[in-house]
Structure 1
Amino acid sequence: MSKTAPFAALQRRALLATFTTAAALALAGCAAPRTTPALADAPPIVFVHGNGDTAALWQTTLWRFESNGWPRERLYAIDVPYPLARDDDAKPQPGRTSAAEHMAHLEAEVDKVLKATGAKQVVLVGNSRGGNAIRNYIYNGGGSATVSHAVLGGTPNHGVWAIPGFREGNEFSGTGPFLTALNAPKNAAGDEVSGPVQWMTIRSDHNDKFAQPDGLWIGQKGKPTNVTAAGPELQGALNTVIAGIDHRETSYSSAAFEATYRFITGRAPQTTPIVAEKTVLLGGKVTGLGVDPLDPKSGNFSNNLPLAGAQLEVYATHPATGTRTGSALLRTVVGADGRWGPLTTQPGVPLEFVVSAPGYATTHIYRSGFPRSSQIIHLRAERMADADKGAASVVTLTRPRGYLDPARDRMLLDGAAPAGVPAGAGVASAKVKPTGGVRSIVAEFNGEKVTGQTWPAAEGRVVMLEISQ
């Protein structure tokens, strides 16, 4: 479990003075009136990432809660060791988790949070598959007693597909046993949720790749999925629609934060922009990639296991050129837990993280300046694809907290619109193979700029320009 460092006692007292007993929250369209709890203390919040993802995706969300005075020690982002769902939930599959295993992990993490904080209940906030685990825990793991609020962003509550006879053993089948059981009516009104937990879903109006009527994103182009953009909604919950957002932005965007904060507290946040700290303390975990037994050459089997023995160097870089501005700020070999840090820096200083480990490319990860402290700056070592080994350099623009939509987003990579990015917010990265020797290279996305260097691929190096938003 990744936990942020404690706030000062003064900050905590300020928060408790700010929170007052919340008024009843009017939830238009809900089957029954629901009210926010009296916030004599800020409830612990446990954030649950999605399929194949990591706790690191919640970084900006945690910063927004902190910027509104939420105590850092009451914000928890968990890492599922094997975050990918099985192809068939009933059949063991190396490197993947069943729905039951996913729920058991969440239950154990909630127990840790309750013990650490002394709280009686937590708020659960999940993205995509994380919402499946939350629903399963509440109804089948005793979570109805330990959870006050559940927020599900982009969770495919009625499936990514709902096709009788098609992959019904999969956790994401709307006609399969897992979702059919979760969606069974909870009362005479046919509600798919029930109290005492208060429920909210957040969905896109049209731009969620996993809530589409056509099977394009599941390899079934032209075939109906029997799912619509409203698939993430649940009858009886507060169902919030945010125009234009993509699948991940249902949880990680500023708009999703605003809706979540309002749902938990009964009022709008004081700020959605992230408030910078005077000094930034960073840390995280170094992870690698497993080998997919069904596709051993892919080298792209996500897990959140520590990459023990990996070497890490961190440098401050020039914002305009991406060149290093001095010697390494940190140079370390990570231990069995994969943890790195602490590293003290100043807000707004861009950084280069260099990860190297046997069996991996030397991975140069460039980030724009960090406005606040975080202990979930997780770094993944990459492998070079066979098709890239003859390139002069390999540079990838990556956006972990959202997708790339050419119709919606302004983005440039090495001065041009990234090639090969399809319409419809369906991919989160774009790759170029620049020539011209070692030089500066810039990625821009909706106002954020990340500048790095084009390291030689012949030396076994790859470059990642990571967008924070």
Structure 2
Amino acid sequence: MPTRRTVFATVASGLLLAACASAPRGAGQPPIVFVHGNGDSASIWQTTLWRFESNGWPRERLHAIDLPYPLARDDDGKAQPGRSSTAEHMAFLKAEVDKVLRATGAPQVVLVANSRGGYAVRNYIQNGGGDKTVSHAVLGGTPNHGVWAIKGFREANEFAGTGPFLSALNAPKNAAGDEVAGPVKWMTLRSDNNDKFAQPDGVWIGARGTPTNVGFDGPALKGAHNVVLPRVDHRETSFSPAAFDAMHRFITGQAPRTLAITAQTPVVLNGKVTGLGVSPTDPASGNETNNLPVPGAQLTVYATDPATGERLGAAVHSKTVGADGLWGPFTAQPGVAHEFVISAPGYATTHIYRSPFPRGSELIHLRAERIAAADRSAKSIVTFTRPRGYFDAARDTMSFDGKALPGVPPAGAGVSSSKLLSTQDGTRLVAAEFNGEKLAGRTWPAADNHVAILELTY
């Protein structure tokens, strides 16, 4: 990996330096476009948007995009069903930025990206005209020097640090050897050592004991303002309160008024029902992530008892999803937990349990699931998932059905979901907790093609 004379800030000094960055010109808050990572969706930015709103940002100036096919190709230069290339990713971002500029009348946008989303941001600014339309770029956990940097190993993949895509992005832009160029202002956010995709050992890419030739500092870029956030995981580089604090200071030059998410009423919720495609590498699985709507899906919402997961009466909302995939709007009662039930041909009946929503959002995307062949012998299947971060047994206080989380290693933040395969007949409570957020759901019979998901918000 090329030598980089990058100065890494500690959190305190990094945020102090960020506060000195000049705020975008013009009155009011600039529009921000949020770009998700590999396999994710716009919904992952839900809490970040809430924090910006809680600090006075108008909702109409916060735009989170959904890449239809969010997974990268195995070989960037070869078409692959259900996957997107770096060129397609950049073109999609460019079209969205143009749309936001037209809608807002603003001269420029701020781009905030997580992980793979940062590749599209860098490609757009360097090769797609974004140097004129972007004022600030924030990259959280983007593997800017690759997930691996091994000569001759999968170099056609966009995550290869020695491959043509990243080599071109990282080529020096000036005599100082900077990897980014103005007039855009750049900031990277990285973990000190807990990002699964910035590890010197290949444990998280299935190659334990093999050097990746990428260090903990892999997301940093020479010429950018590089901030280190202690002990955050790969996703928390973008979605944690500390990440929001750094973003706000960098964009505005000021500390946020609050890191909390302030309550708002009415709590109006909406989002898309999305599904799964067929994996080109494993057609039998049928579980390749995409962000396409599932027209004709039936969505039903129930208020639930936060202690037992039991439904509190009849459905409070029901809708057959149209071509746009939208299942709302639905006005939720503040402080009330909910069960979202998706029924769609070709999918398991999916029961998603969520804790109370403090504010409204149009990013409550709900994914219909399928039962994996390996799980069909279970009496019931319950998944505990944390979309905006990973589970770290050495760092977090958590439990699932009263026990340690199945499948979560004793150290390291590399797993964001845990699956309970029950051998018991009947329906019962399954509770989960993560750092104070509590969820309660019910088991459902897998034999009748039902699955349950306990989904954390924070």
Task: Output the TM-score relative to the length of structure 2.
Answer: 0.95
Cα shift at 1:27: 3.5
Match for 2:45: what amino acid? W
Structural mapping, 1:430-441, within 5 Å: 430-434=418-422, 435=424, 437-441=426-430
Counterpart of 1:432 in 2: which secondary structure? Answer: strand
What are the Cα deviations for residues 334-356 of structure 1, in whole angstroms up to 9, with x where unaligned?
01111110001122211100001
2:51, 2:259 within 8 Å by CA — same for their partners in 1?
yes
Structural mapping, 1:256-405, within 5 Å: 256-405=243-392
**Aligned: 1:180 with 2:167:** yes
Q: 1:440 to 1:39 in 2, by over 3 A?
A: farther
Match for 1:220: what amino acid? A
Q: Which runs of 5 or more residues in structure 2 are unaligned?
A: 1-14
2:36, 2:66 within 8 Å by CA — same for their partners in 1?
yes
Match for 1:194: what amino acid? A
2:35, 2:65 within 8 Å by CA — same for their partners in 1?
yes
**Aligned: 1:424 with 2:412:** yes
1:47 to 34, 37, 58: 34
**Aligned: 1:168 with 2:159:** no
**Aligned: 1:27 with 2:14:** no
Task: State how far apart, in whole Å, the 2-side matches of 1:426 and 1:26 are.
Answer: 30
1:26, 1:34 within 8 Å by CA — same for their partners in 2?
no
Which range moved further: 153-162 or 382-391? Answer: 382-391
Task: State how far apart, in whole Å, the 2-side matches of 1:141 and 1:367 are.
Answer: 39
Structural mapping, 1:64-143, within 5 Å: 64-143=51-130
Cα shift at 1:388: 1.9
Counterpart of 2:318 in 1: which secondary structure? Answer: strand
Task: State how far apart, in whole Å, the 2-side matches of 1:253 and 1:436 are.
Answer: 39
Which range moved further: 231-240 or 34-43? Answer: 34-43
Task: State how far apart, in whole Å, the 2-side matches of 1:261 and 1:35 are.
Answer: 12
What are the Cα deviations for residues 408-436 of structure 1, in whole angstroms up to 9, with x where unaligned?
11111111111221231111100112325
Task: State how far apart, in whole Å, the 2-side matches of 1:46 and 1:103 are.
Answer: 13
Task: State how far apart, in whole Å, the 1-side matches of 2:253 and 2:53 are.
Answer: 17
Match of 2:137 in 1: 150
Tell me which stretches of 4 or more aligned residues in structure 1 moved more than 4 Å: none
Match of 1:413 in 2: 400
Cα shift at 1:41: 1.4
Match of 1:244 in 2: 231
Cα shift at 1:270: 0.6
Match for 1:466: what amino acid? E
Counterpart of 2:391 in 1: which secondary structure? Answer: coil
1:392, 1:456 within 8 Å by CA — same for their partners in 2?
yes
1:462 to 442, 451, 457: 451
Task: State how far apart, in whole Å, the 1-side matches of 2:334 and 2:48 are.
Answer: 17
What are the Cα deviations for residues 195-227 of structure 1, in whole angstroms up to 9, with x where unaligned?
110000000000000000011111221110000
Task: State how far apart, in whole Å, the 1-side matches of 2:280 and 2:96 are.
Answer: 29
Cα shift at 1:34: 5.0
Task: State how far apart, in whole Å, the 2-side matches of 1:347 and 1:207 are.
Answer: 35
Counterpart of 1:305 in 2: which secondary structure? Answer: strand
Match for 2:155: what amino acid? E
Counterpart of 1:156 in 2: which secondary structure? Answer: coil
Match for 1:408: what amino acid? R
Counterpart of 2:271 in 1: which secondary structure? Answer: strand
Cα shift at 1:440: 1.3
1:332, 1:340 within 8 Å by CA — same for their partners in 2?
yes
What are the Cα deviations for residues 171-213 of structure 1, in whole angstroms up to 9, with x where unaligned?
0111111111111111111111111100000000000000000
1:169, 1:176 within 8 Å by CA — same for their partners in 2?
yes
Q: Which runs of 5 or more residues in structure 1 are unaligned?
A: 1-24
Task: State how far apart, in whole Å, the 2-side matches of 1:193 and 1:390 are.
Answer: 52
Task: State how far apart, in whole Å, the 1-side matches of 2:281 and 2:252 are.
Answer: 46
Percent identity between the two aligned chains: 71
Cα shift at 1:327: 1.1
Match for 1:446: what amino acid? N
Match for 2:333: what amino acid? Q
How many residue pairs are counted as aligned between the two chains? 442
Match for 1:459: what amino acid? D
Match of 2:3 in 1: none
Task: State how far apart, in whole Å, the 1-side matches of 2:33 and 2:334 are.
Answer: 26
Cα shift at 1:26: 6.6
Task: State how far apart, in whole Å, the 1-side matches of 2:257 and 2:92 are.
Answer: 34
Task: State how far apart, in whole Å, the 2-side matches of 1:26 and 1:377 are.
Answer: 34
1:39, 1:265 within 8 Å by CA — same for their partners in 2?
no
Cα shift at 1:389: 1.8
Q: CA RMSD in A?
A: 1.4
Match for 2:418: what amino acid? A
Task: State how far apart, in whole Å, the 2-side matches of 1:44 and 1:426 are.
Answer: 32
**Aligned: 1:215 with 2:202:** yes
Match of 2:11 in 1: none
Task: State how far apart, in whole Å, the 2-side matches of 1:34 and 1:250 are.
Answer: 20
2:285, 2:373 within 8 Å by CA — same for their partners in 1?
no
What are the Cα deviations for residues 66-111 of structure 1, in whole angstroms up to 9, with x where unaligned?
0011000000000000001111111111111110000000000000
Task: Output the TM-score relative to the length of structure 1.
Answer: 0.92
Structural mapping, 1:193-208, within 5 Å: 193-208=180-195
